Amino acid sequence: SIKRFVYIISCFFLVTAIFLFYSSFVTPENTNFDSISSSLSSIILIVYSVILLYEKIQNPDSTFIYGTFEFWIVVGLMIYFAGTFFLFLQAKNFTREEMKLFWKINLISNILKNIFFAIAFYQKKRNLERSPSLNFEHY
């Protein structure tokens, strides 16, 4: 039932994204930030991240979930999209001065996401170095 839910949400998002993309070509003078699609994609990616972490917890492949690089990537995405959700939701209503003031939230969330991605890359490298069957340097 979870996979069916994911497919339905994905189809809904795809139809919405195509509609918004098409409508931006019909009215090209509208160059404002598209807060509807950004907020919708934030919600969908947060839901996907929660579902993925739930599945990882239910079927543990390693002793600790934070020992995998996927965990760090998902947490980074969750922090970024949760941190910027309300910012993206209200971005259409901001003046230029308010946008400069509040866009720091996006910058901080982006920095945190990149830190978690760096941890994920380090974790992936460390896991490859520990597993001799996956390290092909000696062949």
Per residue in 31-53, pLDDT tens? 666 777 778 888 888 988 898 88
Report field, pTM of the whole predicted structure over 0.75? no
Confidence (pLDDT) at 118: 93
Confidence (pLDDT) at 77: 92
Find out whether 38 and 94 touch, Cβ atoms under 8 Å: no
H/E run at residue 99: helix 96-130
* Confidence band for 133, pLDDT divided at 50, 70 and 90: low
Tens digit of pLDDT for each residue in 63-113?
677 778 888 999 999 999 999 898 888 888 888 888 888 889 989 999 999
* Confidence band for 138, pLDDT divided at 50, 70 and 90: very low
pLDDT higher than 60, residue 61: yes
More confident residue, 82 or 133: 82
Average pLDDT over residues 110-118: 94
More confident residue, 30 or 19: 19
Find out whether 83 and 41 touch, Cβ atoms under 8 Å: no
More confident residue, 6 or 111: 111
